[in-house]
């Protein structure tokens, strides 16, 4: 996933674009039963982090809200938890 590199380099817009594409691709694969939901939630985790780092808090919150609608991701609460923890930490800074 190129976004791992983009995040390390602070290229937030590149990471956002990459993770939007990755999340959409993972969603299509899950719908076709060729991939599990964690591929989509992983992309969404990186997407929300990149939104937070680029000052787009409302978009990060939209990603969190959408996570509840991912088929098969009910047991994957780490996305919501990690984003909420990051958001809380960002607010304290």
Give the pLDDT band of residue 36 (cuts 50, 70, 90).
Answer: confident
73-83 pLDDT per residue, tens: 665 556 656 66
Q: What is the pLDDT of residue 89?
A: 67
- Check if the beta carbon of residue 3 is closer than 8 Å to that of residue 9: no
How much is the pLDDT for 84? 66
- The Cα–Cα gap between 9 and 78 comes to 24
CA pair distance 20, 40, nearest whole angstrom:
10
Do the Cβ atoms of 29 and 39 come closer than 8 Å?
yes
Mean local confidence (pLDDT), 56-60? 93
Instruction: Please give the distance of CA 11 from its chain centroid, rounded to a whole number.
Output: 15
């Amino acid at each position: 996933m190129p976004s791992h590199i983009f995040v390390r380099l602070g290229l937030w817009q590149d990471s956002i674009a990459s993770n939007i594409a990755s999340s959409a691709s993972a969603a299509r694969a899950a719908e076709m039963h060729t991939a599990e939901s964690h591929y989509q939630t992983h992309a969404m985790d990186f997407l929300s982090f990149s939104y937070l780092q680029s000052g787009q808090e409302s978009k990060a919150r939209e990603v969190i809200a959408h996570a509840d609608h991912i088929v098969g991701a009910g047991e994957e609460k780490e996305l919501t938890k990690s984003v909420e923890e990051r958001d809380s930490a960002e607010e304290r800074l």
